[in-house]
Amino acid sequence: MILIFLFFLALNQENSSLIAQINNQKITQKDLDYQIKVDSCYGLKNQAQEPALIEIINKFFEEQVLNSAFENKISDKELEKKAEWVDKNTKAPEILECVKKVFGEDRKKYLDFYIKPTLVNPRLHLEFSLSPRIHQREIEEIKAIKKDLDTGKKLEDFSNYQKWEIPKDTDFPTDPLVDKVIKNLKLGQVWLNIIKDDFSYKIVRLLEEDKEKYYLDGVIVQKMAFDPWFQDYVKRNIKIEILDQELLTGIKTNHPNLWWVSSLYVCL
């Protein structure tokens, strides 16, 4: 009986400190305190509770969307591996040490709250970029262009025809478009396959080159931008609930143009 009582006492204490919830992901006063202290490690002293809560909500959005839209979750093993990498490769050891002191012995919270977002954000953007479901309209458009080209239409005939240049500077980051396509083209030749990258679908031709640059032209179909898709997904699928009335009023009053404020779920 004592164990059951202590369990429900701990549960009630946790719920009493609950200030917000993103779907089933809880945000407590302790989380808010952690965020404010972590921000201070980065030089942001005396951070107010409202912007700190906004920070937490924004990073929880990314995790929720990664989990629900792509059924992709970060494992405990991945968190530990990334934490080890951060320990070895951080360029700001003083800040990292400060952050670790904030969480103290609470390693789980350190991993979930501080390390996990560094994995979630790039993975979410990668999943978005590679999703044929999200970019179905753009895929169909570039396939239709390819079909027209195969039947004799010219690149210059399309409204999204462009010319651009790529530098040959050895300090320029390696471009897969150069290594896998451009270096295998003769002058005036069109690459026969559709090229996809993080932001677009392309059909390209090598016009000319000199010692400094490659000169290209082609048709580019831009993928849907991430932010509009992300915000729309959150508004349609993620429940945003702020239970602390003072924080709720403060965010609605002081941050009325924040894109998700209109989607706040209000408990009456």
Could you report the average pLDDT of every consecutive run of 10 residues in the chain (268 residues)?
40 66 94 96 92 96 97 97 97 96 96 97 96 97 95 94 87 73 93 92 96 94 96 95 94 93 68
Q: Write down the pLDDT at residue 3.
A: 41
Q: Write down the pLDDT at residue 268.
A: 39
Q: Write down the pLDDT at residue 13.
A: 46
The pTM assigned to this predicted structure is 0.85
Q: Write down the pLDDT at residue 56.
A: 97
Q: Write down the pLDDT at residue 6.
A: 36
Tokens 């179909």 belong to which residue? 221
182 vs 191: CA distance, rounded Å: 8
Q: What is the DSSP letter of 178?
A: H
Q: Write down the pLDDT at residue 175.
A: 73
42 vs 96: CA distance, rounded Å: 9
Q: Write down the pLDDT at residue 194.
A: 95
Please give the torsion angle defined by the CA atoms of residues 93, 94, 99 and 105, in that order, rounded to the nearest 10 degrees.
80
Count of beta carbons in the 10 Å neighbourhood of residue 158: 17
Tokens 């990668």 belong to which residue? 126
Q: Write down the pLDDT at residue 205.
A: 96
183 vs 223: CA distance, rounded Å: 25
48 vs 70: CA distance, rounded Å: 34
